[in-house]
Structure 1
Amino acid sequence: MVDDTRPLRFGILGAARIAPAALLAPALRHPEAEVVAVAARDRTRGERFARRHGIARVHDDYPALLADPEVDAVYIPLPNGLHGRWTRAALAAGKHVLCEKPFTADAAEAREIAAAATGSGLVVMEAFHYRYHPLVAAAEEVIAAGELGPLRHVEASICFPLPRFSDIRYDYGLAGGALMDAGCYAVHMARVFGGEEPEVVSARAKLRDPKVDRAMLADLRFPSGHTGRVRCSMWSVDLLRVAVTVVGAKGRMRIVNPLLPHQGHLLSVRTDTRRFRRRFTRRTSYDFQLDAFTDAVLRGAPVPTGPDDSVATMSVVDAVYAAAGLPPRVPA
């Protein structure tokens, strides 16, 4: 049980580049959260990271951080293939978990972690931070209100250039690939805005090597009959494309930059009866994510990106890889 009279105390597993934006800066702005410890594979690197970011304690390794009684929750920004292993270990140590996407290497591992989380009394959240920004809630309201009419098509694209092919995100042994790194966002967005769990109709990949995709295009079908498309890349002719389009019988909605809305975004809706364009707060999606996590731990609020949601996302990811003729990713 976390003492709700003091801030929620986080430890970070790994001195990852994403940690400052995803947790450290939001925690400095949040009255109910603080980062108190870090562990890295190399203690010297962990010490440098701690000095740079004002973290009080550096542990020799990940198990030592998990054993720290002064840590209530852990943030896991490790390579994809290690997410499941250390989420499992954190749960065994009695820690709440904020785990970077993708939640696990594949759907089987996600189901295993979801089972471990069930009944534990611990909060486990996959860090799909975009989901917590008011932009997404507003877009969902447009769909739920029927302004677009019955849905016809949902398309989500997350494409950005990563030409450094030595990057771990291209490493099959660490569950790498464009679909895992960029595409898991697009898959999740298709699920959120499509409103149902889709089946994969077809997929085709552009390859970095025989097992690792640098780009992926997948076509989906939802139970109600509308279609979907997921497009992602870390290196392709689509150098930069970050958007969602939802088409209904009565109109169309487009979201520009749903991934990092604090860096600029736009929600535009055009229907048979009206047109409008809206922008929302520039407060970061990571800040809203931390709000949701602390609310869940301290006050029992629901978590939209919990383990069951992660199982659904990873099931689609596995199906896309299968349809593209590629092997599923495996835990490291």
Structure 2
Amino acid sequence: MTTFRWGILGAARIARRLVPAMREAGGEVVAVGVRDPSSEHARAFSETWGIPIVGGYQDVLDSDVDGVYIPLPNDQHLPWTLAALRAGKHVLTEKPYTLNAVQAREVVAVAAQTGKTAMEAFAPRCHPYLRRVRDMVQGGDLGDIRSVRSAFGYGLGNPDDIRWDATKGGGALYDVGTYCVNATRLLLGEPRAVTAQARWTPGGVDVGLSGTLEYTGTSVSLDCGFDWGIPDTQRLTVIGSRGTLDVNQVSSPAVDQPVTVTITTSEGTREERFEASNAYAHMVTHFQQAARGEETHLYPPADAVAQMSVLDALYESARTGERVEIQG
């Protein structure tokens, strides 16, 4: 079997997590393209990871790579995902996949036309702990699910951070709330409707957002924010008719953090501990195998359309104050 050859568009901070994950998954990172190849940041990234700068983003697409990873600003996800697919590359794109469900549907169409694998980079859903939680919830270990509560927030103090720029797709929901939505969808499937309220900057960025997702017989709430203080807060609680389940650090158990799932039933409280496991490497492994046709693609672009449909509805509700039904 030939080694899966990766290219990266940009030298974003999150790429520092993906390079070792690609190598752990048996891939080889052979090219990085950056906006300014002469910048100190680009040179430092190249030297630190031993990856040659081949020029700009298009130069990576023109090079001999099997797949590309796109950690660019949110507003650049769609154009470069489409460009990569049309260049004959498999594409792993950072979350949020696009800026709305309409854009995500464009990816579905082009991926189908090109026959290439495209996936949104949600590492936590590939971690063994979340698969175990899903199996417990869907297998009835907790009985009928009455409530799911999730939260992810931290303090974003840098006023120049791109996540404060509405024109670039900034905001708490796209950055951290999207993890809450994704985990809920993994456990329960697709909601019927949402309600939400948000705190906005003068520039139109959601500093924080709280929302509810409607499911038959189950109350679901999420909270996310950029003004929660440091360290960050990540929680998932599932309440069922026969027990409850709690997890901390639910959205970023990526490399070096063990995860403890606490289950309480009428028989008492027990813990299931998951040792440190690189969720990014699990994600990349699945992506590579799906691209090669070695296993079923669990999260094709249609999944990202469903994800973006919920985010669209949450934003619409936060802006209008109305209940919004999910448009499939």
Fold-level similarity (TM above 0.5): yes
Matches within 5 A, 1:82-231: 82-193=76-187, 195-222=188-215, 224-231=216-223
**How far is 1:198 from its partner?**
1.1
Higher alpha-carbon deviation: 266-275 or 6-15: 266-275
**How far is 1:200 from its partner?**
3.7
Q: Which residue of 2 is the match for residue 329 of structure 1?
A: none
Higher alpha-carbon deviation: 294-303 or 235-244: 235-244
**How far is 1:302 from its partner?**
2.4
User: What percent of counterpart residues are identical?
Assistant: 36
Q: Which residue of 2 is the match for residue 307 of structure 1?
A: 301
Q: Which amino acid aligns with 1:252?
A: T
Deviations 1:172-222 (A, max 9, x none): 1111100011111111112112x1211343211112224111110001111
Deviations 1:14-37 (A, max 9, x none): 01111011x21123333x301000
1:295 matched to 2:292 = no
* 3-state SS in 2 of match to 1:216: strand
1:232 matched to 2:224 = yes
8 A Cα contact 1:114 1:307, kept in partner: yes
Return the alpha-carbon distance in structure 2 between the equivalents of residues 206 and 257 of structure 1: 24
**How far is 1:255 from its partner?**
1.4
1:133–1:35 CA distance, 2 compared to 1 (3 A) = same
1:248 to 223, 240, 248: 240
Q: Which amino acid aligns with 1:233?
A: G
Deviations 1:88-123 (A, max 9, x none): 000000000111111001111011111211253211
* 3-state SS in 2 of match to 1:263: coil
Return the alpha-carbon distance in structure 2 between the equivalents of residues 237 and 35 of structure 1: 36
Return the alpha-carbon distance in structure 1 between the equivalents of residues 15 and 230 of structure 2: 27
Return the alpha-carbon distance in structure 2 between the equivalents of residues 133 and 89 of structure 1: 30
Return the alpha-carbon distance in structure 2 between the equivalents of residues 275 and 87 of structure 1: 46
Higher alpha-carbon deviation: 84-93 or 302-311: 302-311
Q: Which residue of 1 is the match for residue 46 of structure 2?
A: 50
Q: Which amino acid aligns with 1:216?
A: L
Return the alpha-carbon distance in structure 2 between the equivalents of residues 11 and 237 of structure 1: 35
Q: Which amino acid aligns with 1:221?
A: E
Return the alpha-carbon distance in structure 2 between the equivalents of residues 203 and 238 of structure 1: 24
2:10 to 14, 18, 22: 14
8 A Cα contact 1:191 1:197, kept in partner: yes
8 A Cα contact 2:54 2:60, kept in partner: yes
Q: Which residue of 1 is the match for residue 311 of structure 2?
A: 317
**How far is 1:51 from its partner?**
1.8
RMSD: 1.8
1:323–1:101 CA distance, 2 compared to 1 (3 A) = same
* 3-state SS in 1 of match to 2:72: coil
1:60 to 55, 70, 84: 55
8 A Cα contact 1:126 1:310, kept in partner: yes
Deviations 1:46-79 (A, max 9, x none): 3432122101x322211121011x1110000001
Return the alpha-carbon distance in structure 1 between the equivalents of residues 111 and 267 of structure 2: 46
* 3-state SS in 2 of match to 1:323: helix
**How far is 1:232 from its partner?**
0.5
8 A Cα contact 2:148 2:236, kept in partner: yes
1:238–1:41 CA distance, 2 compared to 1 (3 A) = closer
1:265–1:173 CA distance, 2 compared to 1 (3 A) = same
8 A Cα contact 1:201 1:219, kept in partner: yes
8 A Cα contact 2:190 2:306, kept in partner: yes
Q: Which residue of 1 is the match for residue 275 of structure 2?
A: 281
8 A Cα contact 2:77 2:94, kept in partner: yes
Q: Which residue of 1 is the match for residue 67 of structure 2?
A: 73
* 3-state SS in 2 of match to 1:228: strand
**How far is 1:322 from its partner?**
0.6
TM-score by length of 2: 0.92
* 3-state SS in 2 of match to 1:279: strand
* 3-state SS in 2 of match to 1:302: coil
Q: Which structure 1 residue ranges, 5 or more long, are not aligned?
A: 327-332
8 A Cα contact 2:257 2:277, kept in partner: no
